[in-house]
Amino acid sequence: MKYPNVYVKLVGEDGNAFSILARVSKALKKAGVSKEEISKFQKEAMSSDYNHLLNVVQDWVNTN
């Protein structure tokens, strides 16, 4: 996991892909991650389907 200290709640929240993407991006920004790195996350997350997006989110941040 790239940013284990960044927590994003998925369960009980809006499951829309764009909503998830926005919440993770906001959490990364709040944690001081560079704009370039956040763009890299977004590009990787949006490169395939919904399941891929969820896998990328879990690779980047803590979703527990």
pLDDT tens track for 27-45: 999 999 999 999 999 999 9
The predicted structure's pLDDT at residue 18: 97
Place of tokens 């989110």: 57
Q: What ranges do the domains of the chain cover?
A: 3-62
The residues, any chain, with a CB within 8 Å of residue 50's CB and separated by 6 or more, are 17
Is the pTM of the predicted complex or chain greater than 0.85?
A: yes
Give the total residue count for the chain. Answer: 64
The predicted structure's pLDDT at residue 64: 77
Low-confidence stretches of the chain (pLDDT < 70) are none
Cα distances from 4 to residues 1, 8, 16, 26, 48, in angstroms, run: 6, 10, 23, 15, 23
